[in-house]
Amino acid sequence: MSYFGSCYCGEIHIEINGNIDSIIHCHCSRCRKASGTAYATNGVVNIDDFKILSGVKFIGKYSKITGKYRHFCTQCASPIYSSRDDNPKSIRLRLGILDSDIAERPMSHNFVTSKANWEDFDTELPHFDTYEPGR
């Protein structure tokens, strides 16, 4: 399988030649703050299957916890992936950057006791193809 992705501004382009494993929706406060959303959807990618096609010079790195890093675009601030010193053979990809449809699916919602108080997993909310009516 080959998957492609890019950041919001298009400076960074990535390719994955392999599976995306252990996909989760993480509701922990760190993922919420890093993504600016109710949760981050992450999947594990083997580092040998991950390639940065363009924009390496735009990848920034931030670490709040020793040995753990969040990699992002320095132009548009899109989160790209996270890495850990204690697991150099894989990364946790932020699935929102993917441009390709994927075959794999999320396996769980994690850290739900830390979820945003306004997130209630309400599947009964209406769904719209574009903006909600009146916007």
Q: What is the CATH number of the domain that holds 73?
A: 2.170.150.70
pLDDT band at 41 (very low <50, low <70, confident <90, very high): very high
Rounded CA-CA distance 135/131 in Å is 6
In this structure, is residue 72 part of a structural domain? yes
pLDDT at residue 132 tops 80: no
Mean pLDDT, range 23-38, rounded to an integer: 93
In this structure, is residue 44 part of a structural domain? yes
Average pLDDT, the chain: 94
In this structure, is residue 129 part of a structural domain? no
Q: Which domain holds residue 75?
A: 2-114
pLDDT at residue 127 tops 90: no
In this structure, is residue 132 part of a structural domain? no
In this structure, is residue 13 part of a structural domain? yes
| Tokens read off for 103 | 């075959």
pLDDT band at 129 (very low <50, low <70, confident <90, very high): confident
- Whether 92 contacts 71, CB under 8 Å: no
pLDDT band at 3 (very low <50, low <70, confident <90, very high): very high
Predicted structure pTM score: 0.89
